[in-house]
Each structure stands twice: as structure tokens, then as C-alpha cells.
Amino acid sequence: MIEIVAFVAGIVLLGAVAWDVFETIVVPRPTPGVFRLGRYIVRGSWSLVRHIGTRSGERRERLLGLFAPATTIALLVTWLGGLVLGYGLVLFAIRDELRPSPMDLGTAIYFGATSVVTLGFGDVVPVGGAARLVVAAAALSGLGVVALVITFLFSLFASYQRREVAVVTLQAKAGAPPSAVVLLESLARLDLVDHLPDFFGGWERWIAEVLDSHVAYPLLGYFRSSHDGVSWISALGTVLDTASLVVTTIEGVPRGQAELVTKMGAHLVEDITNLGFRAKGTDGVDRDSFDAVHARLAAAGYRLVPAEQAWPAFSRARSTYAEALDAMAAYWAVPAAAWFGGSRASHPATSPDRPSVTGGSEVRSSAEDVAPLPSDGP
């Protein structure tokens, strides 16, 4: 009876590991499911690390920055551990086909481990057909999982580097944390307003790539920028705020590319939100804040739609992404876009210690208003 239980438990565990590896690495899209080992590792460990990190002062960014790389290694260890235990249970169930025959489960797991990592000491040898098949499968699956994780790591870091190049470049124009009004003021000062369509075209391609990579592999969202005061979420919020201002408020600037960026950005925000967020962030921009930015843009030399006409259209445009971005920033505890830019404490819509993702509030230190991400895998 104990052999049957061990065999069934081993097969179930091996199936769970294989399915988790397949859905996490091989399938390039979100894969919902309850029986996901990686899902619980990422969600559970992030809640703990985030809780510790937001209270660790100067070490906060270092600790939170280590999470994504460490989690990738933890996934590999978990998968290999699952294979070792699973094959150990199966080998214990058919131990009569091993020489010498393991007398306890620990010895069978040891032989499973040497098979998975292909050490092959020869102190235990399979002599039956079923045992030989299991040992061969253990060696192949162990090598396969390691190879897939290495490939996965290269893919993750390549996507991360491409994402961060644009984020760091934006910092030079929009400040840190980035701000749409600072970006527009910089472009006006540098006489680069005519380059706005090209700017939005580049960010449209960036949004498409982030949409493809981060929805397929949500673990990328946990990789933090190596530069202080910026994040991919704050960069996205700044670009969408800028595009919304161009579409609704600024006259004399081509609006077609800005409209495309707004639609693409809203699509990206919606798809990532669908991975598990309850969008309960804050918009962060009220009429007084908008009027202050309207005055700054007029002082920078832009020709503007009157504020009383522009505000309703701008508010509607921001409603497609602002609250969800704020919830995302709160969950990932990342720097956020400052609506005004410069010294946040000097502006009425901001708080000195809490910048909003698209409106000027700092990342919240508790996540009770956002659902754990990912719900569809790591």
C-alpha cells in the first residue's frame, strides 16, 4: 500500500513541476491556474520582502532590487527540488528494481537527486526496465530544467536592458522622478518640440515591447531600475501624461502619434492590471493641479486650449490609465512620476513623502488595496 501511495504522490509532484516549468517558461503568455508552484513562491516571498524592504531605510532599494534575480534562482531550486522528491518517491515505490534496494525513503531520494543532477556515483544501480526508464527520465528532465532556466534568464535580462535604456534616457529630459510638465518644458527650452512625434513613435515601440514581454513573463515587473528615482512605471506614466496633454491641451503640435501612444499605453496598463490588480490607486491630479501645469506650459511658450475646456478632456484621457498605474506602483513599491516635477513638497497636489505614480504621490508602503500579482504565474 505504501508503495502505491509513494508512486502516485511522486507522479503528481513530477506533473506539477513539469506543468509549472512549461507554463512559466515555455508558454509566452499568461496562463491562469491554481496549481502553480511558481505563483505561490513569487506572491508569498514578495509580500514578505516588500514588508521588510519598505521599513529598512537606506537598504530598501538594495533589498527590493535583489528580489527578482533571487526569485529566479529560487524557482530553479524549487523545480529541481520537486524533481528530486518526485523521482525519489517513484524510485522508492519500485525499489525492488534497484541494487542495492533502498530500505528507506531518504536513500531513494538521494538516488533520485544523483539521477536528476546526473552525478551517477554508481552506489545504487537500476536493474529493472521501469527503474532504468525512471532514472533516464530524471537525468533528462534535470538537464532540461536547468537549460530552460538559463535560457529564461537570458531572455529576462535582455528584455530588462531594453526596457531600461528608454527609462534612463527619459530621466535626462523629465527629471527623477519624471514629470510630464518638466519634459515639455525641457523640450521647449531645447527647441525640440517639433521632435515630439518622433519621441512618441519611439515610446510606442517601447510600449509594444513591454506589453509583449511583461504580460508573457510577469516576473519582469519585479526587476527594478538600477537608477534612483526612476522606474518603468513612472516612465510610462510620464509619457502617457505628456501624450494626454498634447492631445487635449496643447495646440500647434501634431497629435496623431500622441493619440496612438495613449491607446497603446492604456492597452498595456489594462493587460497588466488583468494579471491580478484591483485598480484602487488614486488619480492624483485635481483641477487646481491641472491649472498650475497649464500656467507653466503657457509660460514655457506653448499655445494652449483654455483650461476650462481642456480639463474635462484631459481628465477623461487620464482615467484610462492613472488609477491602475498608481495601484501598480504601490504593489511594486517603485518610484513614481511626479506631476509637477522639481520639489514635490512645494506643490499643492503632492506630499513630501508620498509621490503618486501619475499624479505625484510616493509609493504606498502597504498593499492592502491591490491584489497580489501575478495571478497567472511568476
Q: What is the mean pLDDT of the chain?
A: 84
Q: Are residues 163 and 145 in the same domain?
A: no
Q: What pLDDT score was predicted for residue 250?
A: 96
More confident residue, 324 or 35: 324
Domain carrying residue 252: 159-346
The tens digit of pLDDT for each residue in 170-229 reads 988 998 889 999 999 999 999 999 999 999 999 999 999 999 999 888 889 999 888 877
Q: Are residues 307 and 272 in the same domain?
A: yes
Enter the C-alpha cell of residue 2: 505504501
Checking if the pLDDT of 34 tops 70, the result is: no
- Spatial separation of the C-alpha atoms in residues 208 and 130, rounded to whole Å: 49
Q: Long-range contact list for 21-24, CB < 8 A, 24+ apart?
A: 21/79, 21/145, 21/148, 23/377, 24/75, 24/152, 24/377, 24/378
CA of 33: how far to CAs of 364, 370, 374, in Å?
Answer: 29, 20, 11
Instruction: Name the least confident of 68-77, 79-88, 301-310, 332-341.
Output: 332-341
Residue 359, domain member (yes or no) = no
For residues 240-253, give the mean pLDDT: 95
Torsion of CA 63, 64, 66, 67, to 10 degrees: 130
Give the torsion sign (CA, 299, 301, 302, 306). Answer: positive
Residue 104, domain member (yes or no) = yes
- Spatial separation of the C-alpha atoms in residues 143 and 79, rounded to whole Å: 12
Residue 11, domain member (yes or no) = yes
Checking if the pLDDT of 62 tops 80, the result is: yes
The tens digit of pLDDT for each residue in 129-185 reads 999 999 999 999 999 999 999 999 999 999 999 999 999 999 889 988 899 999 999
Residue 357, domain member (yes or no) = no
Q: Are residues 190 and 320 in the same domain?
A: yes
Residue 366, domain member (yes or no) = no
Domain count for the chain, please give it. 2
- Distance of alpha carbon 14 from its chain centroid, rounded? 27
Q: Are residues 24 and 66 in the same domain?
A: yes
Is-contact 149 69, C-beta < 8 A? no
Is-contact 18 145, C-beta < 8 A? no
Residue 279, domain member (yes or no) = yes
End of a domain among 88, 122, 149? 149
Residue 356, domain member (yes or no) = no
Q: Are residues 329 and 203 in the same domain?
A: yes
User: At 304, phi and psi to the nearest 5?
Assistant: -120, 150
Q: Are residues 137 and 167 in the same domain?
A: no
pTM (2 d.p.) = 0.82
Q: Are residues 188 and 325 in the same domain?
A: yes
Q: What pLDDT score was predicted for residue 115?
A: 93
Q: Are residues 335 and 192 in the same domain?
A: yes
Q: Are residues 40 and 105 in the same domain?
A: yes
Q: What pLDDT score was predicted for residue 289?
A: 92
Q: Are residues 46 and 178 in the same domain?
A: no
Enter the C-alpha cell of residue 74: 529560487
Q: Are residues 195 and 132 in the same domain?
A: no
Q: Are residues 252 and 202 in the same domain?
A: yes
Residue 364, domain member (yes or no) = no
Angle at 200 between CA 299 and CA 277, to 5 degrees: 100
For residues 311-332, give the mean pLDDT: 90
Other beta carbons within 10 Å of 29: 11
End of a domain among 93, 114, 149? 149
